[in-house]
Amino acid sequence: MKRATLISFLLCTCLAVSCLAQQTITIGFTVSRTGALNVDSLEQYRGFELWRDTVNASGGIKAGGKGYKVQFASYDDESNTKRVQQLYTRMILEDKADFLFSPYSSSLTATAAIVTEQYEKIMLTTGAAEEKTYKLGNQHLFQMFAPASQYLTAALDALKAKDPKATVAFVYEDASFSVAVVTPAKTYAQQLGFNVVFTEAYAPNTTDFSALIDKVISSKATVLLGGGHYADGSTLARQLTGHKVPLKMITLLVAPDSPQWSELGDAAYGVIVPSQWEPQSTFKAEYGPSGADFGNAYTAKYNAPPSYESAGGYASGLILQRAIEQAGGIDTAKVTQALNATDITTFYGRTRFSTQPNEHGLQVGHTIFLAQWQKDKSSKLVKQVVWPLAGKSADLLYPIH
Amino acid sequence: MSGILASMIDGLLIGSVYGLAAMGLSLIWGVMDVINLTHGSMIALGMFGMYLLFAAIAGNPYVLLIPVIAAGLLLGILVYWLSVNWVVGRSQLMSLLSTFAVNMMVIGIGTAIWSTSPYNVDFSLSGITVGAYTFTGNHIAAAISALLIALLLEAFLYHTRAGKAIRAVADNRDAAELMGISSTRVLMVAFAIGIALAAASGALVSTLFPFTILSGAGYQLKSFVVTVLAGLGKPFGALVAGVLLGLLEGAVSPFIAVSWIPLIEFGLFVIVLIFFPRGIFGKATA
């Protein structure tokens, strides 16, 4: 009897110890499952999801002698800032999220950041490149994407090398991200000596670009830069093709990075996208999987190649995971300290956050690529890295036709 | 060709589709004195009707307009019996609330089925190129289709017994009933035609631009502007006013940012309400 009691006691103790050692952390975020941002946002979500499944399959995040399984608290924000405000409050107060990831897009993230900072919760932002949010004195916000001001500078550098006499039109979504990209890009274009012949923003829900396209034709622009997100960018590209606008180069933000872009057929061909990451990238990962391993795992799970939004989502998880490991637990102050000290290269590239008081959390390690939709030998549309020249997988196609 | 002329031609083409959409609203308003707030959701259902038919059959979308119009008529009869028949002749607030409720139901069900993500009817006709400007085949075909449907409606209203009955009820419902016309049946037919016109315009828009279940709202607003421009209850005036609105959009867009155009449109809306309360085609009453 005594022996049986002892065995029972030991079993209970072991069970209790194992329960203590295996804890769960909750990461909250919203996804735009519906609305204008759904294509890009779902790709970002897949990155989060693949990271979570990979971590949990290997026993969770190991920190301070404990294993932390990762669980998500996630809701549909309908691409709507009002929903973001309500849902981030709910995830912090009701779901007791330990950490947060951002929604997709700069405007939704700016709203979420107000809530997370108010409750002093760490939020890793991905799919949110606009700098302004990181210049408001936030202490718990960390940006994974290279900032918006870098997006079109690479395209302009590439254009300068090919055609310094090009005439440039900027046609872009009137949203915080696109404005943050185009405003410095226009100044940079003028510094490079380009003649900027037309600049106009369009409302985010625009579907009829006829009037704008007529203006681009009248301006005699040879190059168009701009766009915004998937819904408007894909529509603009279709209508540029429908109106047979004789442009030598088209560079659009965000939308052409999606694998779905190839479904546009002729309208997809030759379009360039500034990219945070491409499958051809060959960064030597100091932490986490290699680019090839990430790409293979992603394609096996989702039957589609990853976009840079997906890579950004996965990398956000990796950087948070490493910070928790370095902090030895999930204490906000210690994890913040670890994130501040982060300077590492993963499959996604280098990640380092500014610790300057006037731009805390701004991404200062990551850089932008240019990818262009070209045809392979079997005339299938594929995305090629064309800039920087050192990392190119194909030459820049200029002019498009 | 100058940019202004090209822009005006583009405006003319899309304006005829605005006109077709407004004809449905104007017909219902004129005949029944009902402000139909299901108009936007019916335009959106027309878009999805075309999308589903095109995905299933992959036929010519301009031929597929026929089943969309037929489905619009049936839907109009259903909506009439569900929400309109009970409020005809009562205060306009009742009809506003009743049709608004149906609108919210359609939007809710549509969002549950299709979400609010954009859809496309992936069809393109080769266009006409003049100098540097190309007018897409889809825009030209949509404008021609809108005009043909408008002519058919005119033939129906002026050259058929049922059409004459609708006009009679619109002019004087009591007198029409004394002449043996069943006003309930006439109102139902008029409402169904109005919904079918909304669905047809939505189907044509779906061949031009991507759309969501919420896309009808913008066209509903334009329909109100066009209907007020034309004068209440003047379907053909609405078609002309729609074309004029498109022309106006085309004429001003080379000179101002495109995002300012709604301000011009609604400014015009207010001016017409103040100075021409019966619309530019309305007759002054003694």
- Bridge partners of A62? A67
Q: What is the pLDDT of residues A191-244, one digit of tens each?
A: 999 999 999 999 988 889 999 999 999 999 999 999 998 889 999 999 999 999
**pLDDT-derived band at A4, boundaries 50, 70, 90:** low
d(CA A395, CA A388): 10
Domain ranges, ordered by start, for chain A: 2-146+281-359, 150-275+369-391
Buried residues in B75-93 as b, exposed as e (16+ CB within 10 A):
bbeebbeebbeebbeeeee
Q: Is the pLDDT of residue A286 over 90?
A: yes
Q: Are B127 and B137 in contact (CB under 8 A)?
A: yes
**Two tokens, residue A295:** 């790409």
Contact map slice: B 217-276 vs A, CB within 8 A: 218, 249-250, 253-254, 257-259, 261
For A150-275+369-391, CATH number out of 3.40.50.300, 3.90.1150.10, 3.30.390.10, 3.40.50.2300 equals 3.40.50.2300
Counting every residue, how long is chain A? 401
Model confidence pLDDT, tens digit, residues A325-375? 999 999 999 999 999 999 999 999 999 999 999 999 999 999 898 999 999
pLDDT for residue A118: 96
The token pair that represents A283 in the structure block: 């960064």
Chain A residue with minimum CA distance to B254: A215
| Those residues with Cβ within 8 angstroms of residue B267's Cβ, 6 or more apart along the chain or in another chain | none
Taking the Cβ of residue A266 and every Cβ of chain B, the question of whether any pair is shorter than 8 Å is answered with no
- Residue B262: asked if its preceding bond is cis (omega within 30°), the reply is no
Q: What is the ipTM of this complex?
A: 0.82
The reported pLDDT for the residue numbered A197 is 97
Start-to-end C-alpha separation, chain A:
88
- Residue A18 pLDDT exceeds 90: no
pLDDT recorded at residue A21: 57
- Rounded distance, CA B93 to CA A69, Å? 57
Digit-coded pLDDT (tens) for A141-170: 999 999 999 999 999 999 999 999 999 999
Instruction: Dig out the tokens for B89 from the structure.
Output: 């002749």
Residue A16: which pLDDT band, with cuts at 50, 70 and 90?
A: very low
A231 touches B at CB < 8 Å? yes
- Cross-strand partners of A384: A372
Give residue A265's pLDDT band: very low, low, confident or very high (50, 70, 90).
Answer: confident
Q: Please state the rounded mean pLDDT for residues B56-62.
A: 90
Tens-place pLDDT, residues A67-110: 999 999 999 998 899 999 999 999 999 999 999 999 999 999 99
- In percent, how much of chain A has pLDDT > 90? 78
Q: Which residue of A has its CA nearest to B138?
A: A242
Q: Which of A39, A214, A236 to mutate to test the interface with B (most CBs of B within 10 A)?
A: A214
Residue B284 lies in a domain: no
B200: CATH: 1.10.3470
- Is the confidence at residue A3, as pLDDT, over 90? no
CA distance A194 to B209: 33
Inter-residue contact B34 to B87 (CB < 8 Å): yes
pLDDT, tens digit, for every residue of A100-140? Answer: 999 999 999 999 999 999 999 999 999 899 999 999 999 99
Spatial distance between the Cα atoms of B104 and B96, rounded to a whole number of angstroms:
12
pLDDT of residue A277: 92
User: Is A231 within 8 Å of B7 when comparing Cβ atoms?
Assistant: no
Q: What is the pLDDT of residue B141?
A: 94
Q: Are A223 and A247 in contact (CB under 8 A)?
A: yes
For position B131, what pLDDT does the model report? 87
Whether the CB of A242 is below 8 Å from some CB of chain B: the reply is yes
Residue to mutate among B5, B43, B115, B116, with most A CBs inside 10 A, is B116
The reply to whether residue B7 touches residue A202, judged by beta carbons under 8 angstroms, is no
Question: Can you give the pLDDT at residue B283?
Answer: 59
Residue contact A214–B7, C-beta within 8 A = yes
For A2-146+281-359, give the CATH class: alpha beta
Minimal C-alpha gap between B192 and chain A (Å):
29
3-class secondary-structure state, position A20: helix
Q: Is B111 within a domain?
A: yes
Cα torsion angle, A287, A293, A297, A299, sign = positive
Sequence-distant (6+) residues with CB within 8 A of A77 are A30, A31, A32, A35, A83, A84, A87, A103, A108
pLDDT at B286: 37
Residue A336's pLDDT is 97
Task: Count Cα atoms within 13 angstroms, Cβ side, for A162.
Answer: 21
Do B249 and A246 lie within an 8 Å CB cutoff?
no
CA-based nearest residue in chain A for residue B250: A211
- Expressed in angstroms, the distance from the first to the final Cα of chain B is 47
Q: Which helix (H) or strand (E) holds A74?
A: strand A66-76
| DSSP-assigned letters across all residues of A95-148 | S--SEEE--SSHHHHHHHHHHHHHTT--EEE-S---SGGGGS--SSEEE-SPPG
For chain A, the average pLDDT equals 91
Q: Which two tokens stand for residue A194?
A: 């380009």
Residues of B in contact with A239 (CB under 8 A): 136
| Mean pLDDT to the nearest integer, A312-318 | 97
At residue B179, the pLDDT reads: 84
Amino acid at position B240, single letter: V
Pairwise CB contact (< 8 Å): A214 & B118: no
Q: Is the pLDDT of residue B216 over 60?
A: yes
Domains A2-146+281-359 and A150-275+369-391 share a fold: yes
Is-contact B197 B71, C-beta < 8 A?
no
Contact A274, A152 (CB under 8 A): yes
pLDDT at B177 over 90: no
- Residue B282: predicted pLDDT: 65
Residue B285's pLDDT is what? Answer: 44
Which among B250, B258, B261 is the nearest to A200, CB-wise?
B258
Q: Provide the residue range defining the domain that includes B155.
A: 3-275
Q: Could you read off the pLDDT of B79-126 as tens digits, one per residue?
A: 999 888 888 778 878 888 999 999 999 999 998 898 877 888 888 888
Considering chain B, what percentage of its residues have pLDDT values greater than 90? 47
Euclidean distance between CA atoms A138 and A357, whole angstroms: 9
Task: List, as own/partner pairs, every contact residues A109-114 make where C-beta atoms lie below 8 angstroms and the sequence separation is at least 24, other chains included.
Answer: A109/A133, A110/A176, A111/A81, A111/A84, A111/A85, A112/A30, A112/A84, A112/A85, A112/A88, A113/A138, A113/A141, A114/A85
**CB-closest option in A202, A242, A246 to B124:** A242
Interface contact flag, A214 B116, Cβ < 8 Å: no
Indicate yes or no: CB of B6 within 8 angstroms of CB of A217.
yes
What pLDDT shows up at residue A2? 53
B282 occurs within a structural domain: no
Per-residue pLDDT for B198 more than 90? yes
Most distant CA pair in chain A, distance: 96
Domain tally, chain B:
1
| Count, residues in chain B | 286
Contact state of A214 with B124 under an 8 Å Cβ cutoff: no
pLDDT at residue number A14: 47
Q: Is the pLDDT of residue B63 over 80?
A: yes
From residue B202, alpha-carbon distances to A357, B24, B147 in Å are 53, 11, 15
B83 touches chain A (CB under 8 A): no
- Report the pLDDT value the prediction gives residue A19, as an integer from 0 to 100: 47
Amino acid at A366: H
CA angle centred on B86, ends B239 and B192, rounded to 5°: 30
- Residues of A with CB below 8 A from B211's CB? 207
- Across chain B, what does the average pLDDT equal? 89
Share above pLDDT 70 across residues of chain B, in percent, rounded to a whole number? 98
Residue A181: band (very low, low, confident or very high) from pLDDT cuts 50, 70, 90: very high
The CA distance from B102 to A389, in Å, is: 58
Does residue B211 sit within a domain?
Answer: yes
Q: Express as a percent the part of chain A with pLDDT over 70.
A: 95
A chain contacts of residue B247, beta-carbon cutoff 8 Å: none
Question: CB distance from B113 to chain A under 8 Å?
Answer: no
Are A202 and B258 a contacting pair at CB < 8 A? Answer: yes
What is the reported pLDDT for A226?
96
Instruction: Give yes or no for A130 touching B (CB within 8 A).
Output: no
Residue of B nearest to A265 (CA): B122
The CA distance from A313 to B7, in Å, is 43
Residues of B whose CB is below 8 A from A212: 258
pLDDT band at B259 (very low <50, low <70, confident <90, very high): confident
DSSP reduced 3-state for A205: coil
Chain A residues lying within 8 Å of B2, measured CB to CB = 218
Q: What is the pairing mode between strands B128-130 and A381-387?
A: unpaired
Chain A positions in Cβ-Cβ contact with residue B134 (cut-off 8 Å): 242-244
| Residue from B254, B258, B224 nearest B241 by CA | B224
